[in-house]
Amino acid sequence: MRRARDDRELALWAQETLAPLRRQMAEVDVAGSVMQRIAVSQPRPVESLLPARWQRPAWAATLVAGFAAFLLLSTTAVLMMTNGDPGARTAMTLAATGGSLLLHGLTAAWGVVKALAETALVFGRSGWTLLETVSPLVRAAGVLAAFCGAASIGFSALIVSRAQRHAPLVSRASWNTLHGGFS
């Protein structure tokens, strides 16, 4: 209650004391400079060299020219191969050699992967067999440990009960006499 009242009084005091700061105002006009700064930071669009009305025809012409160039190149290559051009023949021989090398390489790589996988499988099987052999022993050790634990608890309980039975009885009065304890 008191703290709430103090708080209210203090708030009123601060409100009154800081009044001159509340009457302070500042006027700035930063809109232009901010917008300029933003404009500078924006990525500029790539300007086209052509006027807008030529851009569509230019795009279509580029597509047609590209397709024509591809057609010319592929026709030339087919003609060279069918007419037995030595350059084309060499290229085909090189391509065939490359292909057979690739095939052999892939076969060899597959062999290596297969051998590795087989080795890993053998190791895995051996490990599994070992685990199967050892598991009865592990189980037996676990049972033995549990039995020992239970025996230890039983023995401790026996010792404690015997100690309680044979301990001398001490009354509150004699305890106070001996140790000067509670009155």
Partner 1 sequence: MAAEPTDLELVQEVLAGRIEQFEILVRRYQRLVATAALRMGVPRQEIEDVANEVFYKVFRSLHRYEPSHALSTWLYRITVNAALDHKRSRRHDAKSDELSPTLADDRPGQEETTGDQERAALLREALQRLPVHYRTPLVLTHVEGLPIEEVAKALDLPEGTVKSRLFRARAQLKEILRRHYPGLVPPGLVEANS
**Which residues would be at the binding site for partner 1 (CB under 8 A)?**
7, 9-11, 13-18, 20-31, 33-35, 37-39, 42
Q: Which of these, 163, 165, 167, 143, lies nearest to 155 by C-alpha position? A: 163
Cβ closer to partner 1: 18 or 170?
A: 18
Least spacing, CB of residue 53 vs partner 1, in Å: 25
Least spacing, CB of residue 21 vs partner 1, in Å: 5
- Separation of CA 103 from chain center: 38
Q: Left if phi > 0, otherwise alpha if psi is -120 to 50, otherwise beta: which for 153?
A: alpha
Least spacing, CB of residue 46 vs partner 1, in Å: 17
Least spacing, CB of residue 9 vs partner 1, in Å: 7
Cβ closer to partner 1: 4 or 170?
A: 4
Cβ closer to partner 1: 23 or 179?
A: 23
Cβ closer to partner 1: 17 or 107?
A: 17
Q: Which of these, 74, 106, 108, 105, lies nearest to 88 by C-alpha position? A: 74
d(C-alpha 97, C-alpha 91), whole Å: 10
Cβ closer to partner 1: 35 or 145?
A: 35
Least spacing, CB of residue 8 vs partner 1, in Å: 11
